[in-house]
Amino acid sequence: MTPTADLCDKYGEAIKVIPGPFTSYGGKQTINGEAVTIDLEDDNSLVREALEGEGKGRVLVVAGKGSIRCALVGGNLGSLASQNGWGGIVIDGCVRDAEELSTCQIGIYARGTCPRRSEKQGKGSRNVSVEISDVTISPGMKIWADAD
């Protein structure tokens, strides 16, 4: 995979960068795939639903409003994503089970950790354009992430 810094140098403003900080929690440091989007807040029901499906190397982008009140992905969902062939997960929010996630063979980037689990009420929207900071991400866009 081409490093994200090189992509930014080559394509300039055509590359949209989500402002950090983000931390890598998965067993892989790089993500490269087509976006599947979810817009939600403190309810990971749609995250589980998405990750139960075949990933086909795609990247799940979870617009969690930057919430630090609960985790949207934990060890079980990290394992599920890896088993079902997802290319990665980017979360504008928190994860939990950080030690477990580090053993999952998938790239997982999030804002931080929180030991509290999320609500399970089926709230949110899937496959819609989402906003993370000032960046709009639409389903099907190409997503890259690495240590930068």
Average pLDDT over residues 116-120: 94
Beta bridge partners of 109: 24, 90
pLDDT at 22: 96
pLDDT of 136: 97
Cβ-contact 106, 26 below 8 angstroms: yes
**What does the alpha-carbon distance between residue 44 and residue 47 come to, in Å, rounded to a whole number?**
5
Indicate the pLDDT class of residue 108, thresholds 50, 70 and 90.
very high
Note the pLDDT of residue 13. Answer: 92
Is residue 1's pLDDT more than 90?
A: no
